[in-house]
Amino acid sequence: MLKIHEPVIIVNFKTYLESTGKKAIHLAKQAEKASQETGVQIIIAPQFVDLAKIAETVEIPVFAQHLDPINPGNSTGHILADALKEAGVVGTLINHSEKQLRLIDIQTTVELAKEKKLVSCVCANNPTVSAAVATLKPDITSIEPPELIGTGIPVSKAKPEIITNTITLVHQINKKMPILCGAGISQAEDVTSALNLGTHGVLVASGIVKAKDPYNILCTFANATTK
95 binds a copy of itself (CB under 8 A): yes
144 is an active site residue:
yes
Closest CA to 26 of 185, 206, 213, 205: 213
Q: What is the DSSP string of 112-138?
A: HHHHTT-EEEEEESSHHHHHHHHHT--
Q: Which range in 112-120, 128-136, 159-167, 218-226 contacts a copy of itself by CB under 8 A?
A: 128-136
Whole-number Å distance between alpha carbons of 9 and 153: 18
| In the complex, minimum distance from the CB of residue 225 to a copy of itself, in angstroms, rounded to a whole number | 23
The distance in angstroms from the start CA to the end CA of the chain is 28
87 binds a copy of itself (CB under 8 A): yes
Task: Please identify, using beta-carbon distances, which residue of 209 and 222 lies nearer to a copy of itself.
Answer: 209
- Contacts with 136 (C-beta within 8 Å, 6 or more apart), sequence order: 106, 107, 110, 122
51 binds a copy of itself (CB under 8 A): yes
Distances, alpha carbon 187 to alpha carbons 15, 95, 154, 202, 204, in Å: 22, 25, 8, 12, 11
26 is an active site residue:
no
Catalytic residue from among 5, 37, 66, 96: 96
Q: Which of 60, 66, 199, 214 binds a copy of itself (CB under 8 A)?
A: 66
Instruction: Give the Cβ contact number of residue 37 at 10 Å.
Output: 13
Catalytic residue from among 86, 144, 147, 189: 144
Annotated catalytic residues are 96, 144
Sites of contact with a copy of itself (CB under 8 A)? 12, 14-17, 20-22, 47-53, 65-66, 70, 72-80, 82-84, 86-87, 89, 93, 95-104, 106-107, 124-126, 128-129, 131-137, 149-150, 169, 173, 205-206
